[in-house]
Structure 1
Amino acid sequence: MAVSEELRSAYAPTGELRVALNHGNRVLIGRDEGGHPVGITAELAAMLADELGLPYRFVDYERAGDVSGLATQDAWDVCFLAVDPDRATVIDFTQPYIRIEGCYLASEAAAAVTASEVVKNGLRVGAVKGSAYTLHLARAAGAEKLVQFPDFRTAMSEFDRGQIDVIAGVRQAMAAEAALRPGSRLLEPPFMEILQAMGLPAGRDPAIGHLRNFLAEKSRGGIIGDLLARNGVARECAL
């Protein structure tokens, strides 16, 4: 497929594709021993840049809220975030390409056996400010018990100190933390599905149409499933 200069300019006004990576989502992105980004979103970004014939660089963020908060500040050109109506006011999203579950990690002392009992029993819920699950929980029943933290490390520290009863996060990350804390447990069922998509700062026509087609082709061709499997994520999470 021929790529016009108009399309390249819509994607990357500076001539370089600036890719925002949310390192708060450890399912989609990580770092190798040298600290360089590796994982699903890094590989997808490289595929996109190659198709466009553009140089690219990663712009690293530790929280999803930092990415969306800079969508209008010309800080990045393409991102990988969960679809959320608040974010959609400043970001044009593609269709989702992966489904991730949002789960609660409960402390040993937490008075809950199932996820529904978190709200029913008035438990204190910790979450990272600006994340997709935090935005969801802030609009849901029990929002008055939501405690937002600046980053995941702080949230886990307060969890370990008993200042909150449960932590909200993506299933894989919560399971990893549970394995480090005897007596803690994941509560079922998941409290939400987190639909991950690619996005551009709002108004980047015609780039958003191209990006949607790019991702649809990768999904139909099984490339997304291959990416997930190669990075230790169940192929069934691909959409």
Structure 2
Amino acid sequence: MEHYPLHDAQALAPTGVLRATVNLGNPILARQDAGQPPTGVSVDLARALATCLDISLELVVFDGAAKAVDAVANERADIGFFAIDPLRSQGIQFTAPYVLIEGCYLAREASAFETHADVDRPGVSVVVGKGSAYDLYLTRTLQNAELVRAPTSPSVVDVFLEGNYDVAAGVKQQLESDAQRNGGLCLLPERFMVIQQAMGLPSSRGALAASLLQQFIESRKASGFVHEALRRNGIDGATVAP
């Protein structure tokens, strides 16, 4: 694995430690079993970058994307792993995406929801994870349905069931797992969005740091590192971005 010059490390991690956010709200990116350190493709990438910079790594763990975004935008962390969204670009510079994930709807099997058009109707309630990529996207695109925000993405289906709401929205893999856990639920047949997962750093870090992070993620895609990290962490249904 290549190593970057000292001034590159200072550009990306001026404190001398690479502080990387870990978002446990997205099971594609990371997970953490009780009493164990976080694992996942984002953790693997963070470790690889710290090795390239020849500095130590500090994982800053959050239960939702909005908290991780805030930490990087306000320089409490040096890098993060986020879905690209225009609202987030106000404080964060993004690389090109490294993984593509599907955003889907979940409903009760006995419901009348069959298509996306069925969802966006007056009186329909859609539960989303507060501050998630699909929350931001659906806030812009839904014209008639009402959004109900769960505290975190992993709690979406529980809020959906407890509140007897109409539809849950989220990352396909998370919804599939929740459907198996609860029974009587099904995913609508088509995705409503493609979530582009990228690395990000504070906008204030400047062009050199942004260029270095872009080069890093492109090299990890081209080398097969991202593909292998997905396989090693048992992630199905996510694809490496071109």
- Give 1:83 deviation, angstroms: 0.4
Aligned equivalent of 1:217, options 216, 219, 229: 219
Aligned residues of 2:120 and 2:145 also touching (Cα < 8 A): no
Deviation readout 1:11-60 (Å, 9 max, x if unpaired) = 11211100001110011101145331011111111100000101111001
Cα distance change of structure 1 residues 143 and 201 upon mapping to structure 2, 3 Å threshold: farther
The CA RMSD over aligned residues, in Å, is 1.9
CA displacement 1:181-231 (0-9 Å, x = unmatched)? 222100121010000000101131311101101111111122211111111
Q: Which residue of 1 aligns with 2:172?
A: 171
Retained in 1: the 8 A contact 2:93–2:202? yes
Q: After superposition, what is the alpha-carbon deviation per residue over 1:138-173, rounded to whole angstroms, capped at 9, x for unaligned?
A: 001236511112224553333112431111110000
The answer to whether the 8 A contact 1:24-1:63 is kept is yes
CA distance in 2, matches of 1:47, 1:231: 15
Q: Tell me by how many angstroms 1:5 deviates.
A: 2.6
TM score, norm. by length of structure 1:
0.93
Point out where structure 1 has 5 or more consecutive residues left out of the alignment.
Answer: none
Task: Determine if contact 1:107/1:185 at 8 Å carries over to the other structure.
Answer: yes
1:89-123 Cα deviation digits (max 9, x unpaired)? 11000000100000111124432022331114652
Letter of the aligned partner of 1:79 in structure 2?
A: G
Given the superposition, is the C-alpha separation of residues 81 and 140 from structure 1 closer, same or farther in structure 2, using an over 3 Å criterion? same
The answer as to whether partners of 1:225 and 1:236 remain within 8 angstroms in 2 is no
Distance 1:120 1:143, change over 3 A: closer
Alpha carbons 1:178, 1:185 under 8 Å: kept: yes
SS of residue in 2 equivalent to 1:38: coil
Partner of 1:203: helix, strand, or coil?
helix
- SS of match in other structure, 2:160: helix
Q: How does 1:1-239 map to 2 (within 5 A)?
A: 3-120=4-121, 122-142=123-143, 144-152=145-153, 154-205=155-206, 206-234=208-236, 237-239=239-241
Helix, strand or coil: the match of 1:35?
coil
- Asked if 1 retains the 8 angstrom alpha-carbon contact of 2:65 and 2:82, the reply is yes
Contact 1:111 1:121 in 2 (8 A): no
More displaced stretch, 218-227 vs 30-39:
30-39
The alignment covers a number of residue pairs equal to 239
Q: 1:154 to 1:29 in 2, by over 3 A?
A: closer
**Is 2:74–2:202's contact at 8 Å kept on the other side of the alignment?**
no
The code of the aligned residue for 1:175 comes to E
Contact 1:22/1:64 (<8 A) preserved? yes
* CA gap 1:125/1:24 in 2 versus in 1, 3 angstroms: same
Letter paired with 1:92: Q
Conservation of the 8 A alpha-carbon contact between 1:225 and 1:235: no
The share of aligned pairs that are identical, in percent, is: 37
Question: AA paired with 1:107?
Answer: R
